[in-house]
Amino acid sequence: MKQETIDKVLKFRDDRDWSQFHTGENLAKSLVIEAAELLEVYQWDHKEKSLEKVKEELADVLMYSILLADRYHLDMDEIILTKLKSNEEKYPADLVRGSSKKYNEYRGK
């Protein structure tokens, strides 16, 4: 994500003096609520009903993710790359390619 986009999200918040309401708990709750609204697009049907609605709800999820990372002064690139490295160790491509099993299932645990 471009820093310019992140800065615009933070400016939007700051222009409204909303950071006072953005506790970690409130942001996490809002993130889950928005993720549920994204899931609602698919409710009762396995096909997406509206790409525009998917984009709208995904944007909300991403914005709350930015705000939560900012709340704790986290570098999004760093935490994503750290998690990706952990997942690479849990899910070696040569062992899990084409499988949806959880890491403890394919290793026979």
Same domain, 81 and 68: no
The whole domain housing 101 covers 75-109
What pLDDT shows up at residue 47? 67
The C-alpha atoms of residue 62 and residue 64 are separated, in whole angstroms, by 6
Same domain, 48 and 10: yes
Task: Decide: helix, strand or coil at residue 15.
Answer: helix
The C-alpha atoms of residue 30 and residue 24 are separated, in whole angstroms, by 10
Q: Give residue 109's pLDDT band: very low, low, confident or very high (50, 70, 90).
A: very low
The C-alpha atoms of residue 62 and residue 81 are separated, in whole angstroms, by 17
**Contact 41/47 with Cβ under 8 angstroms?**
no
Total number of domains in the chain: 2
Instruction: Return the higher-pLDDT residue of 50 and 23.
Output: 23
**Contact 54/48 with Cβ under 8 angstroms?**
yes
Q: Give residue 87's pLDDT band: very low, low, confident or very high (50, 70, 90).
A: very high
pLDDT digits (tens, 9 = 90+) for 39-75: 998 888 766 678 899 999 999 999 999 999 999 999 9
Q: Which CATH number is 2's domain given?
A: 1.10.287.1080
Instruction: Return the higher-pLDDT residue of 48 and 3.
Output: 3
Same domain, 82 and 57: no
Same domain, 67 and 56: yes
Q: What are phi and psi of 20, to 5 degrees?
A: -60, -25
